[in-house]
Amino acid sequence: MHVLIIGAAGMIGRKFAEKIALTGRVGQRNVDVLTLADIVMPDVASDFAGERRAIAADLSLAGTAKALVADQPDVIVHLAAIVSGEAEADLEKGYRINLDGTRALFDAIRHIDGYVPRVVYASSLAVFGAPFPDKIPDDFHLTPLTSYGAQKAMGELMLDDYSRRGLLDGVGIRFPTICIRPGKPNKAASSFFSGILREPLNGTEAVLPVDENVRHWHASPRAAVGFIEQAAVMDTTLLGNRRSLTMPGVSATVGDQIKALHDIAGPDVVRLIRHEPNPDIAAIVAGWPRNFEVKRAHALGFRAEASFYDIIKVYIEDELEVDKS
């Protein structure tokens, strides 16, 4: 099997590629060829036993998508995107990358006769907009309140339509906010959810820009990799024409996060969190969903952590303990 990961230099793409390199499989299917593409040259999965290709390319530029799918990969994981805060700040760039790049990819696929790959499309909870019920059901309408959410919703609709026409075999996965993200903060408005845990656990100060009663939906990077793997191998006939799924997660307030950090790491670590209100971030986050019913995803085998304690322990195991070894 040939797997193409677009956005492979990002955190989730890198971790998925590393898992393929470690196991040589996606699900129970052997991977013979692994192609990694991103705007910068991906420097991951160098220990993959099969054929590995790394490409630096901008999906939104003419001809890039055609070149990426020329060898007809069996599974395409589309993670490339401009994140929420940046897409809101730069309208043109957000639509060029998040919408035009996605359409270029889908059209490059459909122009190859008889080629119907599995396409795993990374969507977002930002496709939903307030007002929300206490728990958002699987059939809740898409009413995004940000440009990023609108771009992802458009991608979902294209995925449904191209799948309905038999041009590709799509699965859209609406990621929870991934927490705790390793590395440095990015330009996503949600970056602080990881920062207020990651930085203190690493002995440095973190800024909290919102109130502690802000509630959101979270899953770990380890769970995110599991979502992609499940989407890559699942029976898509079970999806019908609704190809996008909200992924499982943990509904927690910022206060819940801080309490879990306190219980696991102690009060001295928590004291490294500095409250510094940011009205712009608070306004964006206020329009985000907080809790979900994910019956469809659970029925199809998707799984995530059960508590924020579990999410913090995953970070310690996968990042801090690895760094010390």
Q: Express each pLDDT in 245-274 by its tens digit.
A: 999 999 999 999 999 999 999 999 999 999
* Tokens found for residue 112: 């190859």
The pLDDT score that the predictor gives to residue 72 is 98
For the chain, the domains span 2-176+220-246, 191-216+250-290+307-324
The C-alpha angle with vertex 133 and arms to 127 and 135, in degrees rounded to 5, equals 80
Q: Work out the average pLDDT over 261-289.
A: 92
- In this prediction the pTM is 0.94
Query: Domain 2-176+220-246 sits in which CATH superfamily?
Result: NAD(P)-binding Rossmann-like Domain (3.40.50.720)
Q: Express each pLDDT in 227-245 by its tens digit.
A: 999 999 999 999 999 999 9
Cα of 158 vs its chain's centroid, Å: 18
pLDDT above 70 (res 325): no
Q: Work out the average pLDDT over 38-57.
A: 93
Task: Pick the catalytic residue from 95, 121, 148, 315.
Answer: 148
Calpha distance 223→107 (Å, rounded):
30
Residue 121 appears among annotated catalytic residues: no
The pLDDT score that the predictor gives to residue 283 is 87
The pLDDT score that the predictor gives to residue 214 is 94
* Tokens found for residue 151: 């771009």
Q: Which CATH class is domain 191-216+250-290+307-324?
A: alpha beta
Task: Judge if 2-176+220-246 and 191-216+250-290+307-324 fold alike in CATH terms.
Answer: no
pLDDT above 90 (res 134): no
